[in-house]
Structure 1
């Protein structure tokens, strides 16, 4: 064993000693560490990751989509089976309609599943035959950096593992978390209203299985080291198949102890640290992203001391930005920005404002008050939204998530729909793309997709409203139609992405400061690491014209400044900017 391998094994053993304190002794931790290294290395050399090194730059942007977000069918027969594997069609969409503005893609769970559109996984190492094969996944990963879900908290009740759990045989025996009905579970934090425990008859007797999300999604018991071994093997398999970004789905709920909240427990954080150690010593360019839809301060904790997640989802951004653009008041957004710590080198925020899920409201807790949240929910319901609820510890219901397509969410302000939908939509993305962090763009934001009421009516699942499946011929026609808002959104989005990717001041870790320009103009300043480029990011977030003097920005007046979005050059610093409703300006001292 080389000295580097020995150090690697010692680090893994240290993580395991913390995770399994009181469960495994020192010798057992050492033995488990050796097994995990064998699973991960598979004969490869141990690589030494560079600490605090960013694995991204301003060119990075991630498209979020399902494997079948776009399908090719017989012309004028949209409800027939696809004529080619959807993953093959997805590659064509990426090559044809992102025009080099997107270099990474998050394909939502592409494994066989039984419910929750992929998040009740039946087999982690198979590709859903309805989508394609591992060859199609490999083909995408050759041209785009691939993000895949590690659905680590739970799997399908229809999986082989759970069938074996019921039969009390391996593999599966002892894999799932159970509890006694007499256990103290009052403090358990959950995002759903269903019963936490599901009574199941097994060969070992009647057991109550833990189900954080639904009774078809049964929670793993990571106190059983065999579960950890299974997932380490899965991680290595994903690495071998081109995955470089690992999205740890619902990881905050991973470790459970009755009598606690069963969320964000110390063992959960240590498991994230362990997985990072294992992954980056095999593939230093790989990235872990934690999906923790929880209040802001709890979410930030998953950075650790730059030793847990490389990236965290910036979950507070969507509800805050939606509140800002529907009220015309950026006060709450500014306060949040000023409280957000800069991500350390080697870590970054993952910014998004739309995804396959809805607009989460828990991340707005402490940032918006109850009146503001209720007003936002009511506004979105007027725009066609559905609302998902959660049960609080006192038994009452609280809004958990707003389910709506982002284009419809931004069709108007609190006063109602208006004629600024496209401008407001592009303004929202101009803000997101300019912020510190890596941007994630939902495929339906790239195409300006509206609420899918047919899909909702067919499934009766609230989230289906925002999970439209495009048929290639329909999408092709809409993106070619100059009168369609779909084309306006698509061209506008690509323009923003292409411009962003050329600016060093938009590096995910470039300096950021909040500007104070009143309620109606939201602004912040970005500066590149070499201090050569500054960009003043200015946004009229109201439905009324606004005026701003360049003197208020204290620009260096020895050089001209150019708006990257309009190409207008300003030489006179006494100039007043007249900003249209929802206009975005990226004002820079250098252009490339």
Structure 2
């Protein structure tokens, strides 16, 4: 919408910065004008009544413009190429891996030498877990940042990161890093100045003179870490105030009701964009806006804030996509893509945490009904956005999918979750899994699950018992779980070590800074002698690595796997088997997954209900061709098997 005064104001601001708006900077100028009204509207929704609203809005225009001016020519060219290719991140060519740099290879300077490893596997997108400065022993795994622009000495230097990115770009690889929007470390410069009595910086945080407002907030705020960090406020003796600390007492929540805070953090976001970051992972966006009397999670203003960030990034650095790390209820996750007029204009990515969790549900029970009950919500993701699909990540496995999904499958929600916790916690008598419960709430008995993909699939116990059949079963489970994630659509994200079957790493128990947090058991220290086993025929490492490599290769060969909102779940008529169709033009791929420890029988009729019934199917995984039988005949799926059947 044209807004004369706003556009003239921006026009004059850009001319003062000596931008050539009719020449080399015209694309930027065009983007700014096209997004100006939305930018102003979103900003006004949040800050229109703030006394510094106009002053900070003018500063915001300058922040966006300066970021563009600072953007290297190579990145501006990359922006243009990405835009010319449509929505670049929907491609089936992208497969990612998430890793801790220090635990993977020591430091950033060693990372370029490992790029051949990723190329051999087929991974072309890396997520480096937090690498910016955070205090040892009070880092929350790097999510308590004390300097957003300094790489922590443990990992190297900013120059090391830039060197890695340059080499990745030369290999056509993408990079993702985190930005922690919700809070800073209490040792961040802003927090130190607040502790020293600087009122301007105290306004960067939620700081109070007494417990009146903290108590009012806490009446409706759930505890995030009830065992390790009860409560949501911490007393600060240096300034005799209480500060909001939703996660840990060393993580101070930023006050986004102050537009100065928004502008300062946007400047950090655009700094990352100009490092060449392709996808920026926004940590814990559900928490970034707080209101008394609410849970302080998933509030409407949080979505407005993210939409405002998206507009700013779209103007200054359109080649960078945004991932909202919102691990919340299924209906809430979908809101992070934007709703109403803002649909597909908020976060470009979200984690498909619901799908991940219900896959683990299906693996434990051998029953896919809960998995299927979840799909109605998952399928509502709007076109133009995408999922990060995964089986494991650095975090725990939550069981936060809604009770009705469990009830609709015929289970009692409480008893069902209790079974899952016992099964993956390794205390159930029939469970082959080796895991642990994380963050148990003593009041409600709510808990999450820690453990590596391989250990939760039974490989750790099987290897300890030297039981060949159990080993083979565990390997098959690992591949089954990965295959579901790889072919759903979205960008599959491996967690480092899973590509060759790392089991739980218990060395964290010897580190006082980690021993209290059992999530470190599935964050292994890589032994490169073990990784060399991928080249030894018949080794566990070689079997899992080669199979994962083949899954990635197949994904890249099948264009219908691109995330074009082209997935349709099948009615399988068998509670042990899940299946869906991925279609593109006249091509159809039937993806079938048997979660049972026994052979499952699938009526051929299940594959004939959508469009022209297939007569011949080719399985890309086993390289086997099948002739489709009559409706009263069955396709037999082996235990824990999967099939990628293309209609011929």
How high is the TM-score relative to the length of structure 1?
0.89
Match of 1:272, SS? helix
Deviation at 1:364? 5.2
For the 8 Å contact 2:131–2:142, the answer to whether it is kept is: yes
- Is structure 2 residue 608 aligned with structure 1 residue 570? no
Q: What residue number does 1:95 align with?
A: 116
Match of 1:525, SS? strand
Deviation at 1:263? 0.8
Residue in structure 1 matching 2:259, options 200, 216, 225:
225
Deviation at 1:464? 0.8
For the 8 Å contact 1:295–1:365, the answer to whether it is kept is: no
Q: In structure 1, how many angstroms separate the alpha carbons of the residues matched to 2:305 and 2:180? A: 14
Alpha-carbon displacement from aligned partner over 1:428-452 (angstroms, at most 9, x marks no partner): 1111111132211111221211111
Deviation at 1:265? 1.3
For the 8 Å contact 2:500–2:542, the answer to whether it is kept is: yes
Q: Tell me: CA distance 1:23–1:584, structure 2 relative to 1, closer, same or farther (3 Å).
A: same
More deviation in 31-40 or 140-149? 31-40
Q: What residue number does 1:154 align with?
A: 183
Q: In structure 1, how many angstroms separate the alpha carbons of the residues matched to 2:457 and 2:375? A: 21
- Is structure 2 residue 637 aligned with structure 1 residue 579? yes
Q: What residue number does 1:20 align with?
A: 47
Match of 1:124, SS? strand
Q: In structure 2, how many angstroms separate the alpha carbons of the residues matched to 1:10 and 1:559? A: 54
Match of 1:522, SS? strand
Q: In structure 1, how many angstroms separate the alpha carbons of the residues matched to 2:402 and 2:550? A: 30
RCO comparison, higher one (Cα < 8 Å, 6+): 1
Q: In structure 2, how many angstroms separate the alpha carbons of the residues matched to 1:580 and 1:175? A: 58
Deviation at 1:522? 1.2
Deviation at 1:215? 0.7
Deviation at 1:524? 0.9
Q: What residue number does 1:104 align with?
A: 125
Match of 2:551, SS? helix
Q: In structure 2, how many angstroms separate the alpha carbons of the residues matched to 1:384 and 1:215? A: 31
Q: In structure 1, how many angstroms separate the alpha carbons of the residues matched to 2:84 and 2:477? A: 41
Deviation at 1:315? 1.1
For the 8 Å contact 1:54–1:347, the answer to whether it is kept is: no
For the 8 Å contact 1:387–1:399, the answer to whether it is kept is: no
Match of 2:489, SS? coil
Match of 1:38, SS? helix
- 1:266-285 correspondence to structure 2 within 5 Å: 266-285=300-319
Q: What residue number does 1:548 align with?
A: 602
- Is structure 2 residue 560 aligned with structure 1 residue 537? no
For the 8 Å contact 2:220–2:294, the answer to whether it is kept is: yes
Unaligned 5+ residue runs, structure 2?
Answer: 1-10, 12-20, 22-28, 407-412, 427-432
For the 8 Å contact 2:571–2:606, the answer to whether it is kept is: no
Q: What residue number does 2:237 align with?
A: 201
Alpha-carbon displacement from aligned partner over 1:199-258 (angstroms, at most 9, x marks no partner): 0023xx411111111011111111222221221111221112110101110111011112
Deviation at 1:338? 3.2
Cα-Cα RMSD: 2.9
Q: In structure 2, how many angstroms separate the alpha carbons of the residues matched to 1:456 and 1:563? A: 45
- 1:158-169 correspondence to structure 2 within 5 Å: 158-169=187-198
- Is structure 2 residue 456 aligned with structure 1 residue 401? no
Deviation at 1:567? 0.8
Q: What residue number does 2:159 align with?
A: 135
Residue in structure 1 matching 2:564, options 509, 527, 538:
509
For the 8 Å contact 2:450–2:518, the answer to whether it is kept is: yes
Q: What residue number does 2:329 align with?
A: 295
Match of 1:264, SS? coil
Residue in structure 1 matching 2:528, options 461, 464, 472:
472
Q: In structure 1, how many angstroms separate the alpha carbons of the residues matched to 2:201 and 2:420? A: 44
Q: Tell me: CA distance 1:330–1:16, structure 2 relative to 1, closer, same or farther (3 Å).
A: same
Q: What residue number does 2:373 align with?
A: 335
Q: In structure 2, how many angstroms separate the alpha carbons of the residues matched to 1:367 and 1:181? A: 40
Match of 1:268, SS? helix
Q: What residue number does 1:442 align with?
A: 495
Deviation at 1:306? 1.2
- Is structure 2 residue 246 aligned with structure 1 residue 188? no
How many residues are matched?
569
Alpha-carbon displacement from aligned partner over 1:25-74 (angstroms, at most 9, x marks no partner): 76346424424333433377999979994532111111111112323xxx
Q: In structure 2, how many angstroms separate the alpha carbons of the residues matched to 1:172 and 1:26? A: 17
Q: What residue number does 2:65 align with?
A: 38
More deviation in 567-576 or 262-271? 567-576
Q: What residue number does 1:492 align with?
A: 547
Alpha-carbon displacement from aligned partner over 1:170-221 (angstroms, at most 9, x marks no partner): 984432222442221211134221221100023xx41111111101111111
For the 8 Å contact 1:39–1:232, the answer to whether it is kept is: no
Match of 2:336, SS? helix
Q: In structure 1, how many angstroms separate the alpha carbons of the residues matched to 2:444 and 2:51? A: 40
Structure 1 segments, 4+ long, off by >6 Å, are 43-52
Q: In structure 2, how many angstroms separate the alpha carbons of the residues matched to 1:362 and 1:308? A: 23
Q: Tell me: CA distance 1:332–1:277, structure 2 relative to 1, closer, same or farther (3 Å).
A: same
For the 8 Å contact 2:615–2:628, the answer to whether it is kept is: no
- Is structure 2 residue 616 aligned with structure 1 residue 560? yes
Q: What residue number does 1:385 align with?
A: 435
Match of 1:126, SS? strand
Match of 1:281, SS? helix
Match of 1:399, SS? coil
For the 8 Å contact 1:521–1:541, the answer to whether it is kept is: yes
Q: What residue number does 2:289 align with?
A: 255
- Is structure 2 residue 145 aligned with structure 1 residue 145? no
Q: In structure 1, how many angstroms separate the alpha carbons of the residues matched to 2:37 and 2:198? A: 33
Q: In structure 2, how many angstroms separate the alpha carbons of the residues matched to 1:363 and 1:133? A: 40
Instruction: Write 1 or 2 for the structure with the bigger share of helix.
Output: 2
Q: In structure 2, how many angstroms separate the alpha carbons of the residues matched to 1:209 and 1:69? A: 33
Q: What residue number does 1:455 align with?
A: 508
Deviation at 1:373? 1.1
Deviation at 1:550? 3.3
Deviation at 1:327? 0.9
Q: In structure 1, how many angstroms separate the alpha carbons of the residues matched to 2:613 and 2:327? A: 44
Match of 1:149, SS? strand
Q: What residue number does 1:113 align with?
A: 134
More deviation in 350-359 or 567-576? 567-576
Match of 1:247, SS? strand
Q: Tell me: CA distance 1:7–1:32, structure 2 relative to 1, closer, same or farther (3 Å).
A: farther
